[in-house]
Amino acid sequence: MTMAVNPAPESAPEAPPRRKRLALVASKGTLDQAYPPLILATTAASLGWEVGIYFTFYGLDILHQDRFEKLRVASLANPAGPIRIPNLLGAVPGATAAATKVMKGWMEKSQMPSLPDFVEMAQGLGVTFFACATTMGVMGVEDTDLIAGCDIAGAAAFLDFAADSDVQLFV
Amino acid sequence: MTTRTENPEATDTLDTSRLLCPLPVYKAAIALGRLQPGQVLKLICTDPGSLADIPAMARQRGDVLVATDAGGDSQIFWIEKGPSS
What is the residue range of B40's domain? Answer: 12-80
Residue A16 sits at the chain B interface (C-beta within 8 Å): yes
Confirm if A37 and A29 have CB atoms less than 8 A apart.
no
Same domain, A129 and A97: no
Q: Which amino acid is at A112?
A: M
Q: What are the residues whose beta carbons fall under 8 Å from the beta carbon of B76, sequence distance 6 or more? A: B7, B42, B43, B44, B45, B68, B69, B70
For this structure, is B45 an active site residue? no
Q: What are the residues whose beta carbons fall under 8 Å from the beta carbon of A20, sequence distance 6 or more? A: A44, A47, A48, A49, A50, A166, A167, B60
Measured between alpha carbons, how far is A109 from A96 in angstroms, rounded to an integer?
A: 20
Same domain, A79 and A155: no
pLDDT digits over A35-57, tens only?
999 999 999 999 999 999 999 99
Mean predicted confidence (pLDDT) in A1-6: 57
**A14 in a domain, yes or no?**
no
Query: Which among B18, B19, B29 has CB closest to A46?
Result: B29
Same domain, A44 and A86: no
Pairing of strands A50-55, B12-15: unpaired
Same domain, A91 and A154: no
How far off is chain A from B78, nearest CA to CA, in Å? 17
- What percentage of chain B reaches a pLDDT higher than 70? 93
Same domain, A97 and A32: no
What is the residue range of A148's domain? Answer: 21-69+115-170
Q: Which residue of A has its CA nearest to B33?
A: A46
Same domain, A87 and A44: no
Q: Which amino acid is at A101?
A: K
Confirm if A151 and A131 have CB atoms less than 8 A apart.
yes
**B51 in a domain, yes or no?**
yes
pLDDT beyond 50 at B2 = no
pLDDT digits over A62-94, tens only?
999 999 889 999 888 888 888 888 888 888 888
CATH number for the domain harbouring residue B49 = 3.30.110.40
Over the range A66-103, which residues count as b (16 or more CB within 10 Å of their CB) and which as e? eebeebbbbbeebeebbbeeeeeebeeeebbebbbeeb
Average model confidence (pLDDT) for chain A?
91
- The complex's ipTM works out to 0.90
Pairing of strands B12-15, A167-170: unpaired
Query: Which among A20, A46, A110 has CB closest to B25?
Result: A46
Same domain, A119 and A153: yes
